[in-house]
Structures are given as structure tokens and as C-alpha cells.
Structure 1
Amino acid sequence: MTTDLQDAAPAARPVVFSDVDETLIRVKSMFRFLRFYLARRGEPDSTYDRLAGELKAMAAVGNPRSEVNRAYYRFFAGEEATRLAAAGWEWYDREEAEPGGLYHPEVRRALAGHAALGQPVVLISGSFFACLEPIAAATNATWAIGTRPLIHRGVLTGSVLLPVIGAAKGRVAHAVAAVRGADLGDSTAYGDHISDLDLLDAVGHPVVVGDDPELTAHADRRGWRRMAVGQPGELEKV
């Protein structure tokens, strides 16, 4: 005869989720990588200005963030995935060599602390593999889940499966918890922008990074923890 304790299922363990752009890192990876990749390909600065301007114009007239995210990946139609991945590591090394480095050290230390306690760290972002793979490797993240470009015969089609933007981040957190058998009520999430609200709402321990007015007002109403960091990147969040 077994006891109730012996019959009990293993206790669910917490997971730690973190947004990437302007939460874990100081800049917007998608814009910075686009500028880097175009220059690497020999394009003039005006090409970046034109493409970034198109995205900003879409956002300015009220297009949903998910549609702006889709538009970004159309710029990479016809590019080889292996070439983009290699460029991502070069981009990462260059960003890390900049004064101050790539990361918000406060958030990086916090994630390392969670990992030291055996809590899996999951990065969730609207960015993609070229940017996320080196960041995940450097921070020992268990998973990095971003917008996934569709690839046919090694080449990006310009389409994506699902923009990991806004409410999608919350759905990803629930999916990860289901797969890992994690307790979201005991889990932690870090985010810097009101578009991270669904991710933060999904866990029992949300942490608001930086000073986005809308998100910090929400945090103050809910009594959420806030974390001060250095200056944000110069490009607005997409």
C-alpha cells in the first residue's frame, strides 16, 4: 500500500520568461540587425532609412504591431537562412563590443539568478533566429521563442508562421507551461512595454523593466515589481 505522498505527482516548477528588446537587451534587435545586414550586403544607408521608414509609417497610421512585424520579415524574402544565421553572430559580437555592451545588466543578472535556482529561462520575442540564437546562447536560456520565418529549401519566403507580438506572448507562456508542467502562478516574467502585458499577466510574479508610461501605470495599480535600467535604445519598439 502506498501513501498519498508517494502517489502525488511531482510538484510543478516555476519558469522564468523574458521579453528581449529593451528588456534583456538595450536596443531593438530587429532594427539594429536590419541596418547591420544591409551594410554587410553592401547596401547604402539610404536603403535602411527607406525600409525602416516604411515600418514606422505603418505603425504611425495605426497598423497592428503584428502586421508591422510581418512586414519586417518580407524584407528578407529570398535570403538564405544560413547566411542570416551567420550574420546574426557577427551582429551580436559587434553589439557586445559597443560601449556599455548589449545587455541591461540588471536584467541579465536577474535571469542568471533564476537559472542558478534551477528555473528554466525562456526568451519570448517578436525578433527571429538571427538575433535570438546568440543571445540565448550567451545567457544560457533554455528556449528562445520568436517570430518564425517560413523557409523553403533553405531560403526565407518572406512570410512567417505567427508574429510573437502582444497577446501571442501570453499564449506562448501558457504553451510553455503546459509542455513543461510548470506552475505559472509561481513563475516570473520580465517586460518593458505595454505590448508585454499579456505575458506579464500570465504569471504570478511580473516584473516591469524600465519606465514605459502605460505599463508602469498598470504596474503601480496592480502592485507589480518594477526594475530600473539604463537608457532605452534609440529606435521605437516594433
Structure 2
Amino acid sequence: MVHKKPIAFFDVDETLISIKSMFDFYDYFLAAVGHSAEEQHRLQAAARDLLRPGLPRVQGNRLFYQRFAGYKVDEVAGIGREWFAAHLDRGGLFHTDVLDALRAHTAAGTTTVLLSGSFPACLDPVREHAGADLAMSTQLEVRDGVYTGEVTRTMIGDAKATIASELIARAGVAAADCHAYGDHVSDLGLLRLVGHPVAVGTNAEVLAVAEEAGWARLPGTPG
């Protein structure tokens, strides 16, 4: 009988890593493509305005990625690797306790999957460094090697639980045997899906649910 490997799902921003990757990367990107300091400040402020209360997160996510329209995919990916390398040099990018958990799952033969509203330019180097098997992220439309600014798949909120359910079904494993790690209320659907949820960080609402349900917890310790 073939043993079916359980899956461990990891949210990325402020769960596996200590920052919001897409905004942090965007700051780096603006300088890398030659915007003046004044332009950088204006564009950064406009991007962060998409986090304002009342704007649905999926809508804000789509509006954010319009900012990459007209840029070559390879150019953006190269800047993403430079951004990631700079963070590794500075230290503190990964939550070491969560990274250790991911690598322990890998060593135990569990399939590890990153789920993120970020996009491949940020997520690919994170996945490679962590050693995760798969990354499911927001996907952008590409034509002739250039981003159009349109989003073809979001990975925000309920989308994480949806894709996790699909992967579990495709693998033929029981959700009760799977694991998930998340830090935000938008991760609760994912956490409730599996048999071994882990609440990461200090979000009061997530911790209240975790305490009531008896979930495991990790503090999320930057290393």
C-alpha cells in the first residue's frame, strides 16, 4: 500500500517571514527601477493606502499589482532575488520557529506548501531558501514576457482554504492529517480546515480562537 503524504500549509507574510513581502518588495523595486526619492515616497504612500479599512483585501490586492504593468517578468524576478538577498544579509527576515517547523515537516516526509497573496518575484526565493515543495501565490497575467497589470488568480483570505482543499483532495490525504500555520484572521478558514492548526504571532482574534479550540501556537520569532 502506498503511503500518502500529509500536507503542511504555511501562510507567508508575518507567519513564515516577519514582513509584508509585497509592500516591502515594492519599496525596493521603486528604487531599483530608478524612481526619484520624491516619486518613491508618493508611490509608496499610494500603495499603502490600499490597506485602508473598508477596501476589500482582494480588491486592494488587484489594484496593487496594476503597478507592475509594462515591466518584464524576468526583470522583476531579478529585482526580487536582489531584494531577498539584501534581507538575508541584514537578517531577521524569517521567523525561525516557523522556518524550523517547515523544515521539520520536510524531514518527516510531509509535503510543504506556501500560500501567499504575494507574487512569484517575492515568493520564489522564499520558497527556495525555506525548502518548501510548492508555492501557491497570486498570479499575474503575462503577455510576451511582460506583466499586463491584471490578476488571473488571487490568494487572499478564503482562496487559501479553497486551494488547500483542492490540494488535499488531489493528494488523496485526510485533512485531519494535515497541518496549517497562519497569523491573521484571514487565515482562519485555512486553519480550521486541517487537523493540526498552528496560530502564529500575537493577533488577538486568532489567539482567542486558538485558545478556545486548543490549537498549537508559535510566537513567530525573527532570527
TM-score, length-normalised on structure 2? 0.94
Distance 2:53 2:182 in 1: 25
What residue number does 1:42 align with?
A: 34
Give the conservation status (yes or no) of the 8 Å contact 1:147–1:160.
yes
Give the conservation status (yes or no) of the 8 Å contact 1:184–1:202.
yes
Question: What are the superposed Cα offsets for residues 59-86 of structure 1, whole Å, 9 maximum, x if unpaired?
Answer: 3240110011101100000010010111
Structure with greater proportional strand content: 2
What residue number does 1:89 align with?
A: 81
Distance 1:41 1:52 in 2: 14
Range moving further from structure 2, 87-96 or 41-50: 41-50
What residue number does 1:197 align with?
A: 188
Equivalent residue letter for 1:47: E
1:156–1:21 Cα change, 3 Å: same
Tell me the SS of whatever aligns to 1:107.
Answer: helix
Alpha-carbon distance, 1:11 to partner: 4.6
1:87–1:207 Cα change, 3 Å: same
Question: What is the CA RMSD across the aligned residues, in angstroms?
Answer: 1.5
Distance 1:46 1:200 in 2: 42
Alpha-carbon distance, 1:206 to partner: 0.5
Q: Give the one of 8, 21, 36 matched to 2:13.
A: 21
Give 5+ residue unaligned stretches, structure 1.
1-8, 232-238
Question: What are the superposed Cα offsets for residues 17-62 of structure 1, whole Å, 9 maximum, x if unpaired?
Answer: 0001111111111011101111011113433433333344343240
Runs of 4+ in structure 1 over 4 Å off:
none
Give the conservation status (yes or no) of the 8 Å contact 2:185–2:205.
yes
Distance 2:44 2:172 in 1: 40
Report the number of matched residues: 222
Equivalent residue letter for 1:13: K
1:200–1:48 Cα change, 3 Å: farther
Question: What are the superposed Cα offsets for residues 167-222 of structure 1, whole Å, 9 maximum, x if unpaired?
Answer: 00000101111222222111000001111111111111000000011111111111
What residue number does 1:164 align with?
A: 155
Question: Larger Cα Rg: Structure 1 or Structure 2?
Answer: 1
Range moving further from structure 2, 43-52 or 73-82: 43-52
Distance 2:16 2:101 in 1: 10
TM-score, length-normalised on structure 1? 0.89
What residue number does 1:236 align with?
A: none
Indicate yes or no: 2:205 matched with 1:228. Answer: no
What residue number does 2:108 align with?
A: 117
Tell me the SS of whatever aligns to 2:153.
Answer: coil
Indicate yes or no: 2:87 matched with 1:106. Answer: no
Give the conservation status (yes or no) of the 8 Å contact 2:22–2:122.
yes
Distance 1:206 1:26 in 2: 19
Alpha-carbon distance, 1:117 to partner: 0.5
Give 5+ residue unaligned stretches, structure 2.
none
Q: Give the one of 117, 125, 143 matched to 1:126.
A: 117
